[in-house]
Structure 1
Amino acid sequence: MAELLRMPEVAAGSTTAVLSDWPVPEGTAFHAGDTIMIVETDKAEVDVEAHADGTLIKALAPSGTEVEVGSPVAVIAAPGEKVGDLDALLADLGVAEPAKTSPAVRREIPGTERTPEVPTPADLTDQPANGRIFSSPLARRLARDAGIDLGAITGTGPGGRIVRDDVNAAIAARIPRPGPAPTPDLSAAPRPAAPAYDAIPHSRIRQAIAGRLTQSKQNAPHFYLRGQVRVGELLTLRQRINADGGVKISVNDLLIKAIAVAHVQVPEMNVVWTADAVRRFRAVDVSVAIATGAGLVTPVLRNVESLSVSAVSAQVRAFSEQARSGALRQGDLEGGSITISNLGMYGVEEFSAIINPPQAAILAVGSATRTPVVTEDGGLEAADVMTLTLSADHRPVDGALAARWFAALRDSIEKPVRLIV
């Protein structure tokens, strides 16, 4: 029996979401597990999968629009089910008007530039059933503006659908013919000078970052612990592991494992603040700050206390690739009690970071530098030293607790053999 597909609540507490695309065109059958709708949240794209086989009868909300959670976005039917009068069916299903939508500010996907796909009435007009060319609204608009026949383009999207990249490739393949140079109009009035800046509209991810970090500084009383740790043995351990020719690990991978060891030794730090209680976790989940062209994302490594260093390294690399290609899912970004943010590779010696809410702490990591230090007998020696700065939320974490955790972290870093046993 035909039924309505509604906009899901893909992110906890969200009231709207952007309907990014319909991978399954109208009138097309799909199978259980197929992606039938792609939805954008503030930080990720989410594939909405079909729970059973069926057919997409009618899309009630176009691609590129912001839709209220719970609003009907499509009519789907069982496999082989015949639908007669669509208007009568919509009335029977209680749909008196289209889903409440508005043009959306699209999230920037790393490595691409997305344009809101708000189709015009002409875009929504189906082509004849025989020889129909399936294409996204944005692809149709780009092809129309460039004067390119969609029939001459081979689609690479789902089911052979023509997408934006296909049209861009066709545009790039054309060789423009040079025309005569325009004759300057000397009588034209002088034009006003161009502004001395470029106005870059806020992307959804940039707006989300701004909102979350502003909320964090306003609501979470930050305090900071700063200290230097010797990393000579840690760097030697990394060199020995990488010399085996297997998985290459980074200093950051070892630091993530050291955070997990410190959390196990001082479990009172593995917490978040909620309105009703301090929530202490049994497993250690650590967020890793990853910079992309669109902004900062913080995917979460789960159960780090039980992972080997090589497994931590493999997961971080996978997250980095997904972050830069825009393939992270909302679930990858939720959870954890602490984040690690490392700017040492940029030559930054120390900095203070803002807590990623609702977490209780963030560890800012500077670069390792060769520094003269005083030995126990009062002499001087050169040592590899790194400055770490812990930002903590004073609501669930007191200063003495943070200091005990920092001491456990230092001990794990300066005696790194415990990270691999």
Structure 2
Amino acid sequence: MAVEFYIPKMSDHMEEAIFVEWLVADGDAVEKGQPILVIDTDKVVAEVEAPADGILVGIRPGLENGATVAVGVTVAFIVGDIADEVPALEPLDAPAPDSAAAEAAEPSQLVTTVDSATAASGSGAALGATPAGRKAARELNVNLVNVVGSGPRGRISESDVRKHAADASSAEVAAVPEDRDAAWLELTPVQGVTARRMVESMSEVPQFSLARHLDLTAIVAVRERTGGDAGSKPSVTAYLVKAIGLALAEHPRVNGFFREGRIEINNDINVGVAFGTDVGLFVPVIHRADRLSVSEIADALARLRGLADGQAFTRDDLSGGTFTLSNLGMFGIDEFRALVNQPQAAILATGQVSKALVVDSEGTISIRDRMTATVTADHRSLDGVSVARFLSSVANFLLDPDEHGGMAT
């Protein structure tokens, strides 16, 4: 009996994916759980695993690199015997399945990871490296773009990586055109996804930004009172996530999506936090941030940071975000403007905490710990007043955490 192999639904809002490559060929034997297909979604570059043992047959015509495929579309079959008959699939440009069929599509087993050594190549071939090959590449700090695979269709094995590492003469030299003093650097798959999403954000979303100072004097004092070294204390980011969560609860419209001319208000408050890695930007999610303590958020951030180092996020880690925080304060940045992460209504960008002389309404001068926060919002969903009120709520939660029980560690 033939098993349909289809494009899985990897998140609540995923409707399509971009085909990258097959890791096996038509007629190849596959095992359940074996990665056989690579797709590019709005969130991640993912390997889709075989749902059953058998032989891959009947690959849909027109499925080539860069092709867009709707969720639920059958792209091949897995049969027990090569002689088993399967229906001929229409070319890819045929009508996609109806929305009900796509909604019913259950996720196949997925490996939603992009290893730095793998993704640095920016090519589908490198994504065809075996798990052992990718592990060896990480251990030996080998860029897979320079490794020649000896397996089927150039698949890179552990021995290929170790052979390359042992060759002292191999060096990663960027190709330089003879007629110009320049080098070409290919985008990693993650960077490619980010580039596409940012172009869409700039071209499709009417964006505006509001900025204000956040007084973190009390937060800094709380952190100083907390025992242990700096690494064991909740970070400023953890307090920001908590304050954002509480403020979103007060201003639910900011926690919404703009879709098809309407605003969808999300019941759950899930704050995505931007993480930079060697292969590009990821935005893993702190789910139900308004209900977590600051310490719980700090633990979640620490776990996500550990996963970011190896790009080992799960599908749930990267799904369900309703608002995004991008904090570059640890790099000495004072302030910046981020782009809206569609379909979210807004994003908050924060800079470093610094000392400032502040004159209050009574003329008293004091030294305060402050950071600049900039909210960029989708003007179709939000206006200036609603964003200003939201940002004011964030500021108030941070100004006096002792007054707000929800800000307790």
Question: TM-score, length-normalised on structure 2?
Answer: 0.73
Amino acid at match of 2:15: G
Gaps of 5+ in 2: 94-112, 128-143, 170-176
Q: Distance in 2 between matches of 1:234 and 1:9?
A: 41
The 3-state SS of whatever aligns with 1:367 is coil
Q: Distance in 1 between matches of 2:281 and 2:45?
A: 15
Q: Distance in 2 between matches of 1:55 and 1:364?
A: 47
Instruction: Name 2:338's counterpart in structure 1.
Output: 353
How many Å apart are 1:409 and its aligned residue?
0.8
Instruction: Name 1:5's counterpart in structure 2.
Output: 5
- 2:357–2:367: 8 Å Cα contact kept in structure 1? yes
* 1:142 correspondence with 2:148: yes
Gaps of 5+ in 1: 78-82, 101-106, 120-137, 145-149, 151-161, 177-191
Instruction: Name 1:110's counterpart in structure 2.
Output: 116
* 1:164 correspondence with 2:163: no
* 1:257 correspondence with 2:242: yes
Instruction: Name 1:185's counterpart in structure 2.
Output: none
Gap change, CA 1:280 and 1:242, over 3 Å in 2: farther
Gap change, CA 1:374 and 1:284, over 3 Å in 2: same
* 1:420 correspondence with 2:408: yes
1:37-186 alignment, distance < 5 Å: 37=36, 39-42=38-41, 43-46=43-46, 48=48, 54-58=52-56, 69=69, 70-77=73-80, 83=81, 86=82, 88-89=83-84, 92-95=85-88, 109-112=115-118, 113-114=120-121, 115-117=123-125, 142=148, 144=150, 163-173=156-166
Q: Distance in 1 between matches of 2:48 and 2:227?
A: 40
Q: Distance in 2 between matches of 1:245 and 1:46?
A: 35
1:239-250 alignment, distance < 5 Å: 239-243=224-228, 247-250=232-235
Q: Distance in 2 between matches of 1:221 and 1:175?
A: 52
Instruction: Name 1:382's counterpart in structure 2.
Output: 367
- 1:40–1:46: 8 Å Cα contact kept in structure 2? yes
- 1:111–1:325: 8 Å Cα contact kept in structure 2? no
The 3-state SS of whatever aligns with 2:356 is strand
The 3-state SS of whatever aligns with 2:351 is strand
Q: Which moved more, 1:230-239 or 1:374-383?
A: 374-383
How many Å apart are 1:372 and its aligned residue?
0.8
Give 1:294's match in structure 2, choosing from 273, 279, 283: 279
- 2:234–2:295: 8 Å Cα contact kept in structure 1? yes
The Cα offsets for residues 321-345 of structure 1, whole Å up to 9 and x where unpaired, read as 3333232345433333321111111
How many Å apart are 1:169 and its aligned residue?
1.1
Q: Distance in 1 between matches of 2:250 and 2:236?
A: 21
* 1:206 correspondence with 2:191: yes
How many Å apart are 1:170 and its aligned residue?
2.8
1:302-341 alignment, distance < 5 Å: 302-341=287-326
Gap change, CA 1:94 and 1:405, over 3 Å in 2: same
Amino acid at match of 1:420: A
Q: What's the Cα RMSD here?
A: 3.7
The 3-state SS of whatever aligns with 2:366 is strand
How many Å apart are 1:193 and its aligned residue?
5.3
Q: Distance in 1 between matches of 2:279 and 2:229?
A: 36
Q: Which moved more, 1:361-370 or 1:214-223?
A: 214-223
How many Å apart are 1:290 and its aligned residue?
0.9
Question: TM-score, length-normalised on structure 1?
Answer: 0.71
How many Å apart are 1:44 and its aligned residue?
2.1
How many Å apart are 1:303 and its aligned residue?
0.6
